[in-house]
Amino acid sequence: MENLTQSIQGVPLNHYILLSTIIFAIGVIGVLIRRNAIVIFMSIELMLNAVNLLLTAFSVHHNDPAGQVFVFFIMALAAAEVAIGLAIIVMIYRNTNSTDVNILNKLKW
Amino acid sequence: MSISLFYFVAFLTIFFSLLVIFSKNPVHSVLYLIVTFFTFTLHYIMLNAQFLAIVNFIVYMGAIMVLFLFVLMLLNLNEGSIGSKSNLLKMVGVIAGMCLIITLVGSVKALNDSDPLILQTQDLGLVKNLGKVLFSKFLLPFELSSILLLSAMVGAVLLAKKDIKQG
């Protein structure tokens, strides 16, 4: 384990910020270009994970365990969000026989 | 072990997350997402956040991905059942994402050059250290998150249950 953690010695904090930015933007692009509601959900998971990684990197940088506790709370929140979201998707599928978000663009109007 | 390990894992993360959003079949998307989360676990190990690495491995790669895959299999979505957005909308989406990257990168560049990340204490991300913080400073949020999980469970069961009056 010591060998592995030696490998981050010297990675600038900026590079962690860049990596998280790129992954967050990939999540945003996924939400914008896909029509399948489940893939949109997966993009949201990508965004949450990018933020988690950045919080951990800052936690190590400032030598403060609070950041890693925040990540723990975000994971609990993501689990709740996925459970509710997938239940909603199952319900939508029961009504429309599809998970295409374009079918629901006007809700019930 | 050298500094290039980080860049290799970072490359893998970006590559597989691109595959997640661009693969046509949603089942492939879920599988690529599992690989992406595994690379996140590697990042946590490299940051010596061992507790988060294990939690990420169990919760994300285990529980959440099984949930995704299960729903996907249950809904029986074929590859062509959901069309894709028009090329114009795709281009607009990609350009909007690029603009987000440029804005954030520009604001990071405006800062001074960052110091290299150095692990000051070896036991920062260990269970013992995090548990002490979690059950002293963050006790109230911890209890609130238990209420959140309980309400999410009740809500999911209520939503997924068939309506008895109609059905």
Q: What is the DSSP string of B10-37?
A: HHHHHHHHHHHHH-SSHHHHHHHHHHHH
Q: For A69-90, what is each residue's pLDDT tens digit?
A: 999 999 999 989 988 988 888 8
CB B20 within 8 A of CB B33: yes
Domain of A36, in residue numbers:
12-96
**A22 pLDDT more than 90:** yes
Residue A12: which pLDDT band, with cuts at 50, 70 and 90? confident
Angle in degrees, CA B154, B156, B157, rounded to 5: 65
Q: Which residues 62-101 of chain B have a CB within 8 Å of chain A?
A: 63-64, 67-68, 71-72, 74-75, 77, 81-85, 89-90, 92-94, 96-98, 100-101
Give pLDDT tens digits for B131-143: 888 899 999 999 9
Give me the CATH number covering residue A37.
Answer: 1.10.287.3510
Grouping H, G, I as helix, E, B as strand and the rest as coil, residue B116 is strand
Least confident segment among A13-22, B1-10, B140-149? B1-10
Q: Cα(B47)–Cα(B52) distance, rounded to whole angstroms?
A: 10
d(CA B54, CA B41): 8
**Among A35, A44, A45, the residue to mutate for chain B (most B Cβ within 10 A):** A45
- The interface predicted TM-score of the complex, written ipTM, equals 0.88
pLDDT (mean) for B112-118 = 71
Cβ–Cβ below 8 Å for A26 and B26 = no
Q: Is residue A59 part of a domain?
A: yes
Count of Cβ atoms closer than 10 Å to residue B142 Cβ: 15
Number of domains in chain A: 1
Residue B2 has pLDDT above 70, yes or no: no
Q: Given pLDDT bands bounded at 50, 70 and 90, which one contains residue B150?
A: very high
Domain membership of residue A108 (yes or no) is no
Torsions phi, psi of A33, nearest 5?
Answer: -100, -10
Interface probe with B: pick from A86, A88, A96, A99, most Cβ of B within 10 Å: A86
The domains of chain B are located at 1-81, 83-113, 126-167
- Ranges A65-74, B94-103, B124-133: which has the least confidence: B124-133
Measure the CA–CA gap between A53 and B43, rounded to whole angstroms. 8
Instruction: Give yes or no for residue B167 having a pLDDT over 70.
Output: no
Query: Does pLDDT of B166 surpass 60?
Result: no
Instruction: Please give the CATH architecture assigned to the domain spanning B1-81.
Output: Up-down Bundle (1.20)
Distance CA B1, CA B42 (A): 14
B101–chain A nearest CA distance, Å? 6
pLDDT, residue A4, reads 59
Tell me whether B160 touches chain A (CB under 8 Å): yes
pLDDT confidence tier of residue A30, bands split at 50, 70 and 90:
very high
Is B50 part of the contact surface with chain A (CB cutoff 8 Å)?
yes
- B83 CB-near residues (< 8 Å, 6+ apart): A35, A100
Nearest CA in chain B to A32: B93
Q: Using CA of residue B141, residue B142, residue B148, residue B150, what is the dihedral sign?
A: negative
Quick check: B112 contacting A, CB < 8 Å? no
Choose between B12 and B3: higher pLDDT.
Answer: B12
What sign results for the dihedral spanned by CA atoms A34, A39, A44, A45? negative
Residue A5 has pLDDT above 70, yes or no: no
**φ/ψ of residue A2, rounded to 5:** -65, -40
